[in-house]
Chain A
Amino acid sequence: MKLLKLRTKIILFTALLLIGVVIGSFLLIDHVVRDQVRGRLVRDLERSQHNLEQIQKDRLRELVAYSIIASENSTLKAAIETFQSERLGASPILEQLRRTVDNEANKLFTVLAADLLIITDNAGQILTVQSSPILPVPPGLTLSDQPSIINSLSSKPADFVQAASIWRFNQKAYRIVSVPILLQDIVVGTLNTGFEISPSLVQAIKANTDSDVVFSADGQIIASTLTPQQNESFLNYVREDSRMPRVPSPSQAEVVLHGETFLALKLASGERSNASFVILNSIDRAMHDIMSGIKTTLIVIGLFSIFLATLLGWTLSQSITKPLMTFVNFMDGISQTGDLKKKFQPQTPNFEVDVLARSYESLAHSLEESQAQTAKYHEELRQKESSEEKLRTLAARSRLDALISQINPHFLFNALNTVSALIDENPGEAQRLTLKLSNIFRQTLQASEREIISLQEELNFIRDYLEIEKARFGERLQVEQQVTVQKAEIPCFTLQPLVENAIKHGASPKIGTTTIRIEVRQSDGKLTVQVSDDGIGMNQESLNHMLDRGYGLKNLIDRLNIFYQGNFSWKVESQFQHGTVVRLELPC
């Protein structure tokens, strides 16, 4: 059912269109939202950065303050100072002094609640390390390369917070601040306190800021809230280094970690440059959070729209297909009954179908007219075909008759007898007659292929024919010919039957000489062909039945009738014992 297909098409098309619109809107919204989300994430990141840097600063400042207070420990100072003074002497008190330093450091470590506490001498050599758990620090390890310690030892008037170090030891990283241990303005050592940059710390930061945090140093992840795979990709960024924002980070950069897009920002931290503290906000996650809601809404709207479109399409197509179906049914009826005059009466008026019906009616009208014309034409054609057919039949028959007549055994027998008789008496004549006979047969055969020939050809043929007859009849047959027409065309075998009849029915039965006279003349647009003889002639009765008797004349009349379509006349006059005149008047 093509009409149902149309309906399906309408619904399908609308549905596809709507799906396209929904998808398009989704993509558009996605694009717009992504921009906005990005903007918001940038602000979030900057806020996180600010907060973190502030927290970090506060924490470090706090540590510095507490460390300064802690560094004012007289026992510690005395122990350090004495230790350094006694060191060269290898005195037995050194071990005791070291224990004192350890004890004091341990007390401070407990009080400060730090993750790490290191005391160095005034050369940066480690005197004691307090940590939890205890770090296996090898003896002789120096921290003199740490910026904070360098700063403390030189007692530069610098900000202790800014000089904070990242101390990496044993797969761990500590943020340390260093303050000088002063004895009457003399730096006798440094007190370094720090907290570990631990997984729990970065988790806490994430919980506070909602940002992912990665802390890496020397191409290693120290602490991270990302997945292990993302950490791996992150390291690639750090290694390549070109795509990561540098310190200080004026702006954020987009990074793709294991297929997830993040906005990353490196915190200014003031430590060695191979350590980086990066906070990241996942664009994808934020997008997903927002877009999942929008997606659901859009899908609901889309489904509802498709339902509405289906309903609308159905109704709309129904308003077209229903009248169309009526019209189709009407046409079906027409095709069955063939009644073109029947008018279409729609149940429900519909503009388009109405137009269609009007067009159909106009078409039906034209069809009807052309049908009538065709019928007429066919009739004419049929008539024409039948007359032509008749003509052809007659012509064929005439040729056949002529052939039969010429090959008439009598004619042939007589002709051959004549030739035979002449062979001895007059061989030349016999030869001539044989040629004539041959001509006659050839002519007859050729003529069967043509309907019309020139008058001259016909006369030539007659002459040949008469030659043979004259040879048979001898002096009994005289031929006169009076032809005043130079050029004319006549149906073939027009003269022959007349001449044959004159010989057969006029000359043959008569005792004595018979003269056959052939006249052809032209006047008033007519060609008059007359064959007369002074033979035995016919009485009235014979004349009346003349057409019934021999085929020859009737055949000729029929042929001419068809050929000229009745536009000719013929006349036969005959008087018994006096002869017969046959006259044809043909149009030329």
Chain B
Amino acid sequence: MSPPLKRRAGVAIFSVIGGGLVALICLSRPEHSAANPHLASISGTVRIESKIQSKSLALNLYSRRGISAANQKLQPPANELQNIVLYLEGRFPDSFDPPEKSPVILQADETFVPHVLPVIRGTTVNFPNGDPFFHNVFSLSSAKNFDLGRYPKDHVRSVRFDRPGIVKVFCHIHSHMSAVVLVFEHPYFAGVDAQGRFKMENLPPGNYELVAWHERLKPQKQTVTLRAGAESRVDLVL
């Protein structure tokens, strides 16, 4: 196999793995307590109607900088819906444990996959390097300031996020790379599928605000009243 082919295969593999992990994170939790009649659920859709500010259009000369020309055409147009996180805002009496299995942000094709990762406080996130060259992971954010240093392919380094907040993650070697780790106090958050659908289950009944968050857009909030055993329907527009 010629190196590009090998690399492409690698990309494909990691993409699958990455996608699987995301799905796991987003969907595993509701499944976990699906049958509890004391809990509520929300389902609905999210649409992006605002223009994502400063979103670079295809720059004729300088676009896709840092990525070899051969790979450019393989990059699919980013589906920004997948970078949306929905979460509840309100008072929660309980404290929550982090998941046993650490979520992963893979570094593949000079991209953090996924780009946005919501976690419960105390979660340790693994950052495996899937590219055949060195990567670095660091953050300057107040919620977590860290620098994992440089490490080669297949090495994994981890960070435990102890404080809630937004943590922007970068790579010193590849300056175009970025990811966001959203650290929550609670587990009541969810992603959106490619069609903008979402479903949040096992939610405690009560009055909350449902927030749709996107890195570059103004967050949208909607008050929801959750009743036990009932599913609320919410459609949000960002």
Q: Are B54 and A122 in touch, CB under 8 angstroms? A: yes
A-B contact sample (14 more), CB < 8 A, given A74-B172, A81-B178: A68-B65, A73-B175, A74-B173, A78-B138, A78-B139, A78-B140, A78-B178, A85-B166, A86-B142, A93-B141, A93-B142, A153-B54, A156-B57, A185-B55
Q: Are B176 and A78 in touch, CB under 8 angstroms? A: no
* Alpha-carbon gap, A16 to B120, bound state (A): 110
- B172-203 toward A: CB 8 Å interface, digit per residue (1/0)? 11111110000000000000000000000000
Q: Of all chain A residues, which has the CB nearest B61?
A: A157
- B77-92 toward A: CB 8 Å interface, digit per residue (1/0)? 0100000000000000
Q: Which residues of A contact B64 (CB under 8 A)?
A: 185
Q: Are A184 and B53 in touch, CB under 8 angstroms? A: no
Given the known interface contacts A72-B66, A184-B111, A186-B216, the answer about A93 and B145 at a Cβ–Cβ threshold of 8 Å is: yes
A-B contact pairs, 30 of them (CB 8 A): A68-B62, A74-B136, A74-B171, A74-B172, A74-B174, A78-B138, A78-B140, A78-B168, A78-B178, A79-B140, A86-B141, A86-B142, A89-B142, A91-B142, A155-B55, A155-B57, A156-B57, A157-B59, A179-B62, A180-B54, A182-B56, A182-B65, A184-B115, A184-B176, A185-B55, A185-B64, A185-B78, A186-B52, A186-B54, A187-B54
Q: Which residues of A contact B57 (CB under 8 A)?
A: 155-157
* Alpha-carbon gap, A35 to B62, bound state (A): 49
Q: Of all chain A residues, which has the CB nearest B75?
A: A185
A97 at interface by CB-CB < 8 Å: yes
Given the known interface contacts A74-B171, A93-B142, the answer about A183 and B62 at a Cβ–Cβ threshold of 8 Å is: no
A75 at interface by CB-CB < 8 Å: yes
Q: Are A187 and B141 in touch, CB under 8 angstroms? A: no
Q: Are A157 and B60 in touch, CB under 8 angstroms? A: yes
B58 at interface by CB-CB < 8 Å: yes
Smallest CB-CB A-B distances: 7 pairs:
A187-B54, A74-B175, A93-B142, A185-B56, A78-B170, A157-B60, A82-B140
* Alpha-carbon gap, A49 to B61, bound state (A): 27
B63 at interface by CB-CB < 8 Å: yes
Which range holds the interface residue count of chain A? 20 to 34
CB distance from B85 to the nearest CB of A (A): 14
Given the known interface contacts A77-B175, A81-B170, A184-B177, the answer about A155 and B139 at a Cβ–Cβ threshold of 8 Å is: no
Q: Which residues of B contact A182 (CB under 8 A)?
A: 56, 65, 176
Q: Are A82 and B176 in touch, CB under 8 angstroms? A: no
Q: Which residues of B contact A81 (CB under 8 A)?
A: 168, 170, 178
CB distance from A143 to the nearest CB of B (A): 15
CB distance from A413 to the nearest CB of B (A): 166
Q: Of all chain B residues, which has the CB nearest A92?
A: B142
A188 at interface by CB-CB < 8 Å: yes
Q: Which residues of A contact B53 (CB under 8 A)?
A: 122
CB distance from A61 to the nearest CB of B (A): 11
Q: Are B170 and A77 in touch, CB under 8 angstroms? A: yes
* Alpha-carbon gap, A186 to B61, bound state (A): 15
- A70-112 toward B: CB 8 Å interface, digit per residue (1/0)? 0011111111011001100101110011001000000000000
* Alpha-carbon gap, A187 to B59, bound state (A): 11
Given the known interface contacts A72-B65, A72-B66, the answer about A82 and B56 at a Cβ–Cβ threshold of 8 Å is: no
CB distance from B206 to the nearest CB of A (A): 26
Most buried by A among B57, B136, B140, B174: B140
* Alpha-carbon gap, A185 to B14, bound state (A): 22
* Alpha-carbon gap, A156 to B61, bound state (A): 11
Q: Which of A75, A122, A183 contacts B176 (CB 8 A)?
A: A183
Q: Which of B140, B142, B178 contacts A184 (CB 8 A)?
A: B178
Q: Are A186 and B56 in touch, CB under 8 angstroms? A: yes
Q: Are B56 and A187 in touch, CB under 8 angstroms? A: yes
Q: Are B176 and A93 in touch, CB under 8 angstroms? A: no
CB interface residues, B 23-66, toward A, < 8 Å: 52-66
Q: Of all chain A residues, which has the CB nearest B55?
A: A186
Q: Of all chain A residues, which has the CB nearest B175?
A: A74
- A214-250 toward B: CB 8 Å interface, digit per residue (1/0)? 0000000000000000000000000000000000000
Q: Which residues of A contact B55 (CB under 8 A)?
A: 155, 185-187
CB distance from A148 to the nearest CB of B (A): 14
Q: Are B170 and A74 in touch, CB under 8 angstroms? A: yes
CB interface residues, A 167-183, toward B, < 8 Å: 179-180, 182-183
CB distance from A71 to the nearest CB of B (A): 8
CB distance from B217 to the nearest CB of A (A): 12
* Alpha-carbon gap, A32 to B226, bound state (A): 97
Q: Are A93 and B66 in touch, CB under 8 angstroms? A: no
* Alpha-carbon gap, A82 to B179, bound state (A): 11
CB distance from A265 to the nearest CB of B (A): 30
Q: Of all chain B residues, which has the CB nearest A189?
A: B54
Q: Which residues of A contact B56 (CB under 8 A)?
A: 155, 180, 182, 185-187
Q: Which residues of A contact B142 (CB under 8 A)?
A: 86, 89, 91-93
Q: Which of A93, A97, A100, A188 contacts B54 (CB 8 A)?
A: A188
Q: Of all chain B residues, which has the CB nearest A78?
A: B170
Q: Of all chain A residues, which has the CB nearest B57?
A: A155
Q: Of all chain A residues, which has the CB nearest B66?
A: A72
Q: Of all chain B residues, which has the CB nearest A73?
A: B175
Q: Which of B54, B66, B178 contacts A155 (CB 8 A)?
A: B54
Q: Of all chain A residues, which has the CB nearest B111?
A: A184
CB distance from B57 to the nearest CB of A (A): 6
* Alpha-carbon gap, A571 to B16, bound state (A): 192
CB distance from B94 to the nearest CB of A (A): 25
* Alpha-carbon gap, A182 to B60, bound state (A): 14
Q: Which residues of A contact B140 (CB under 8 A)?
A: 78-79, 82, 93, 96-97, 100
* Alpha-carbon gap, A68 to B59, bound state (A): 13
Q: Which of A73, A97, A183 contacts B178 (CB 8 A)?
A: A183
Q: Of all chain B residues, which has the CB nearest A96?
A: B140
CB interface residues, A 20-63, toward B, < 8 Å: none
Q: Which residues of B contact A122 (CB under 8 A)?
A: 53-54
Q: Of all chain B residues, which has the CB nearest A83?
A: B140
CB distance from B73 to the nearest CB of A (A): 15
